[in-house]
Chains A and B, each alone.
Chain A
Amino acid sequence: MAAWEEILQKHTGERCWRLRHPSGLTILVDPKPGYQSSYAVFATRYGSIDTAFRKDGGEEETVVPAGIAHYLEHKLFESEDGDAFARYAKTGASANAFTSFDRTAYLFSCTDRLAESLEILLDFVQHPYFTEETVRKEQGIIGQEIRMCEDSPGRRVLFNLLKALYQNHPVRIDIAGTVESIAEITPELLYGCYHTFYNLNNMVLAVSGNVMPEDVLAVADRMLKPSDGRRVERAVADEPAEAAEPRVESRMPVASPLFYLGFKDHLPDGRCRTAEELAAADVLLEILAGQASPLYARLMEQGLINASFGAEYFEGPGYAAWLIGGESADPDAVAEAVHAEIERLRREGISAADFETARNALYGRLVASLNDVENCGDILVSDFFYDREPFALIDAAAALSPDAVTRMLRENLQRSQAALSVVSPAE
Chain B
Amino acid sequence: MPHPLYQPLTGGAGLLTLSDGRFKTARLSVALLLPLDKDAASAYAILPYLLRRSCEAYPGFTVLKRRLNELYGARIVAEVTRLGECQALVLHAVSIDDRFALHGETVASACAELLGSMLFRPVLENGAFPAKDVEQEKRCLIERIQSEINEKRLYARRRCESLLCEGEPYAVDRHGTIEGVSALTPASVTEAWKRALSTAQVRLIAQGADIPKDIGDAFRAGLASLPDRNPCRYTPQIVRRASTVREAVERMDVGQAKLVLGLRAGAAEPDEGVPAMRLMNALLGGTPHSLLFRNVREKLSLCYYCQSSYDRLKGVMLIDSGVEEKNAERAKEEILRQLDAVRAGGFTDEDLESARLSVVNQFRTVGDLQSTAGSWYLGQSFQEIPSTPEEAAKAVEAVTKEQVAAAAQGVSLGAAYLLAGKEAQ
**Complex interface bits, A64-97 against B, C-beta within 8 A gives 1, otherwise 0:** 0000000000000000000101101111111110
Known contacts A253-B149, A371-B369; is-contact A151 B256 (Cβ 8 Å): yes
Neighbouring B residues of A85 by C-beta, 8 Å: 288-289, 293
A254 and B147 contact, CB distance less than 8 A: yes
The verdict on A221 contacting chain B, using a C-beta distance below 8 Å, is no
Which one, A90, A150, A357, contacts B70 given CB within 8 A?
Answer: A357
A368 and B24 contact, CB distance less than 8 A: yes
B96 and A364 contact, CB distance less than 8 A: yes
A111 and B354 contact, CB distance less than 8 A: no
Which one, A89, A109, A153, A364, contacts B74 given CB within 8 A?
Answer: A364
Neighbouring B residues of A293 by C-beta, 8 Å: 62
The verdict on A236 contacting chain B, using a C-beta distance below 8 Å, is no
CA distance A45 to B300 in the complex (A): 32
In B1-21, the 8 Å CB interface with A consists of: 1, 21
In B117-147, the 8 Å CB interface with A consists of: 136, 139-140, 143-144, 146-147
**Chain B residue at smallest Cβ distance from A92:** B357
CA distance A303 to B146 in the complex (A): 15
CA distance A150 to B254 in the complex (A): 8
B422 to chain A minimum Cβ distance, whole angstroms, is: 9
Neighbouring B residues of A89 by C-beta, 8 Å: 287, 289, 350, 354, 357-358
A34 and B22 contact, CB distance less than 8 A: yes
B72 and A308 contact, CB distance less than 8 A: no
B299 to chain A minimum Cβ distance, whole angstroms, is: 10
The verdict on A154 contacting chain B, using a C-beta distance below 8 Å, is yes
A371 and B358 contact, CB distance less than 8 A: no
CA distance A109 to B353 in the complex (A): 18
B386 to chain A minimum Cβ distance, whole angstroms, is: 19
B174 to chain A minimum Cβ distance, whole angstroms, is: 15
B69 and A290 contact, CB distance less than 8 A: yes
A256 and B1 contact, CB distance less than 8 A: no
Known contacts A96-B288, A109-B365, A252-B253; is-contact A308 B147 (Cβ 8 Å): yes
The verdict on B332 contacting chain A, using a C-beta distance below 8 Å, is no
The verdict on A123 contacting chain B, using a C-beta distance below 8 Å, is no
A141 to chain B minimum Cβ distance, whole angstroms, is: 5
The verdict on B163 contacting chain A, using a C-beta distance below 8 Å, is no
B149 and A255 contact, CB distance less than 8 A: yes
In A134-150, the 8 Å CB interface with B consists of: 137-138, 140-142, 144-145, 147-148, 150
Neighbouring A residues of B102 by C-beta, 8 Å: 11, 360, 363, 398
The verdict on A370 contacting chain B, using a C-beta distance below 8 Å, is yes
In A283-337, the 8 Å CB interface with B consists of: 286, 290-294, 296-297, 300-301, 303, 306-308, 327
The verdict on A33 contacting chain B, using a C-beta distance below 8 Å, is yes
CA distance A219 to B62 in the complex (A): 52
In B363-382, the 8 Å CB interface with A consists of: 364-365, 367-370
CA distance A144 to B256 in the complex (A): 7
Neighbouring B residues of A252 by C-beta, 8 Å: 253
Neighbouring A residues of B234 by C-beta, 8 Å: none
B144 and A306 contact, CB distance less than 8 A: yes
In A355-414, the 8 Å CB interface with B consists of: 356-358, 360-365, 367-368, 370-373, 398
Interface extent on A, as a size class? 35 or more
Known contacts A89-B358, A256-B147, A363-B72; is-contact A301 B136 (Cβ 8 Å): yes
**Complex interface bits, B43-86 against A, C-beta within 8 A gives 1, otherwise 0:** 00000010000000000011001101111111000000000000
The verdict on A98 contacting chain B, using a C-beta distance below 8 Å, is no
Which one, A36, A83, A88, A303, contacts B365 given CB within 8 A?
Answer: A36
Neighbouring B residues of A12 by C-beta, 8 Å: 24, 100
B150 and A258 contact, CB distance less than 8 A: yes
The verdict on B307 contacting chain A, using a C-beta distance below 8 Å, is no
B22 and A86 contact, CB distance less than 8 A: no
The verdict on A32 contacting chain B, using a C-beta distance below 8 Å, is yes
**Complex interface bits, B83-117 against A, C-beta within 8 A gives 1, otherwise 0:** 00000000000111000101000000000000000
Neighbouring A residues of B21 by C-beta, 8 Å: 34
Which one, B100, B144, B297, B361, contacts A93 given CB within 8 A?
Answer: B361
Neighbouring B residues of A137 by C-beta, 8 Å: 301
Which one, B66, B139, B153, B358, contacts A292 given CB within 8 A?
Answer: B66
CA distance A357 to B72 in the complex (A): 8
Neighbouring B residues of A33 by C-beta, 8 Å: 22
Neighbouring A residues of B230 by C-beta, 8 Å: none
CA distance A109 to B364 in the complex (A): 11
B367 and A36 contact, CB distance less than 8 A: yes
Q: List 27 A-B contacts (CB under 8 A).
A: A35-B22, A89-B287, A89-B350, A109-B365, A141-B298, A144-B322, A147-B255, A151-B152, A153-B150, A253-B252, A254-B150, A286-B69, A291-B65, A292-B68, A300-B61, A301-B136, A303-B139, A306-B139, A308-B143, A357-B66, A358-B69, A360-B69, A363-B72, A364-B71, A364-B96, A367-B72, A368-B24
Known contacts A293-B62, A371-B23; 14 additional CB pairs below 8 A are: A90-B354, A92-B358, A92-B361, A152-B151, A154-B150, A253-B254, A291-B61, A296-B62, A308-B147, A327-B143, A360-B73, A367-B72, A368-B24, A368-B94
> Which residues from chain A sit less than 8 Å from chain B, CB to CB?
11-12, 32-37, 83, 85-86, 88-96, 109-112, 137-138, 140-142, 144-145, 147-148, 150-154, 209, 252-256, 258, 286, 290-294, 296-297, 300-301, 303, 306-308, 327, 356-358, 360-365, 367-368, 370-373, 398, 426
> What are the 10 A-B residue pairs with the smallest beta carbon separation, nearest first?
A364-B72, A92-B357, A361-B73, A89-B354, A255-B146, A364-B73, A140-B301, A292-B65, A147-B256, A89-B289
